[in-house]
Amino acid sequence: MTLQKADVVIVGGGLMGSATAFFLRQRGQSVILLERDQIGQYASGVNFGNVRRQGRFLGQLELANRSWALWKRLPELIDDDLEFIASGHMRVCYREDEIAELEAYAAAPEAEQLDLKIYRGAELHQRFPFLGPDVKGGSYAPHDGHANPRLAAPAFARAARRLGARIEEQTEVAEVQKVGGEFTVTTTDGRQFSAEQLLITAGAWGQKLSAQFGEPVPLDTHGPQMAVTEPVPYALPTVIGVYTKIPEEVIYFRQIPRGNIVIGGGYRSKPDMLNRRAQVEPRSILNQIQQMRRLLPGVGNLNIIRVWSGIEGYMPDSLPVMGRSGTVDGLFYAFGFCGHGFQLGPGVGDVMAELISTGSTRTSIEPFSIRRFALSAEQRSKAS
């Protein structure tokens, strides 16, 4: 049996893994990326496609800004078009008191680069005349936008491959061992791959691998609920999403230049992790139809032509697991992006490549450390 060696083995070929493979190659590291199914098949390929910074946890904006700078370098960066448009993003609300919350966010020093502008009342409806009368205010982010998630991870993987990365699809990991200073990954078809550094970017399956190294995390899985309309003339360049604490009010949409309106939000489904399939719940679609009519009354003239879902990993604090392992040298994680990883993808790849190849990163990722769960486990055992 042949043993394939590289500087870094990456397990999981979503956007995070593919982007990291690309940036590691740019830094001259040899890379093997192992993907059980196809590149970008689950969360990475089926999400809404929001390239949105506003509304994120303020401590994540530094990472999001780094990622945004990379989005702006597309398509040259990877020589591939991800249909990224910095079209602007509008976060709207239905209640006056929520405008104050949007204002507080816009005023935070961390959000300075976003150039947020708050709209309300007549000015709001003049600027966005298609919004329904229930919309009371909104926060406009002129530099945010959207892109095509179906294309992103495969394009990064192809770019990484062109730079010399080895990308192995249909390759399922059976076992990971660390002996001496080296990780050895054995796949279900009996192949072995080894490296001194191992990165887990396995999305909703990330905790299965982190648990093997004594770092279990309370990851939950959800299926996003997406729908798309038939195409109509391109008139709504701004991505629009509702800021609310009521789950069924959560709705967001974007129109792509070829005319279709992509819709997401509302109820999520519970994925079938055994068969790796997630359904779209009919009630989600009916709720989306209702919420869309409230947000964008003109949409009633259109039809939904397709719905889809995928499998996303969520953490209880809505923050990802990202950074080095708390227990094993040479082991790194980037998974569990809680349904908001798409915009972060290029930035996560760049940061992880920097961290793995230099031992540190200039971007703050401390809030995402896996150690936050180890700590709480310790506290729990003390409390009991």
- Residues of the shown chain interacting with another protein in the complex, contacts defined by CB under 8 A: 38, 45, 150-151, 154, 158, 229-231, 258, 279-282, 285-286, 289-290, 292-293, 299-308
Do residues 57 and 31 touch, judged by C-beta distance below 8 A? no
CB of 57 to another protein, least distance (A): 30
Of 150 and 371, which CB lies nearer to another protein in the complex structure?
A: 150
Of the candidates 178, 69, 57, 175, which has an alpha carbon nearest to the alpha carbon of residue 113? 69
CB of 217 to another protein, least distance (A): 30
Length of the chain: 384
Of 256 and 331, which CB lies nearer to another protein in the complex structure?
A: 256
CB of 61 to another protein, least distance (A): 31
Of 179 and 274, which CB lies nearer to another protein in the complex structure?
A: 274
CB of 300 to another protein, least distance (A): 5
CB of 161 to another protein, least distance (A): 10
CB of 308 to another protein, least distance (A): 6
> What is the distance between the alpha carbons of residues 345 and 366, in angstroms, rounded to a whole number?
17
339: its two tokens = 């349904």
Of 45 and 349, which CB lies nearer to another protein in the complex structure?
A: 45
The separation between CA 283 and the C-alpha centre of its own chain, rounded to angstroms, equals 25
CB of 229 to another protein, least distance (A): 7
> What is the distance between the alpha carbons of residues 17 and 213, in angstroms, rounded to a whole number?
19
Of 197 and 288, which CB lies nearer to another protein in the complex structure?
A: 288
11: its two tokens = 């397990």
Of the candidates 97, 91, 100, which has an alpha carbon nearest to the alpha carbon of residue 128? 91
Question: Residue 206 in 3-state DSSP?
Answer: helix
Q: Which residues fall within 8 angstroms of residue 208, CB to CB, at 6 or more apart?
A: 202
> What is the distance between the alpha carbons of residues 187 and 88, in angstroms, rounded to a whole number?
44
> What is the distance between the alpha carbons of residues 289 and 101, in angstroms, rounded to a whole number?
27
Do residues 102 and 93 touch, judged by C-beta distance below 8 A? yes
Of 303 and 360, which CB lies nearer to another protein in the complex structure?
A: 303
Distances (CA, A) of 289 to 165, 215, 243: 44, 41, 17
- 252-255 sheet: strands from edge to edge: 117-120, 137-141, 89-93, 239-242, 252-255, 261-264, 226-229
Of 283 and 362, which CB lies nearer to another protein in the complex structure?
A: 283
E strand or H helix at 33: strand 31-34
CB of 257 to another protein, least distance (A): 13
> What is the distance between the alpha carbons of residues 16 and 19, in angstroms, rounded to a whole number?
5
Of 69 and 305, which CB lies nearer to another protein in the complex structure?
A: 305
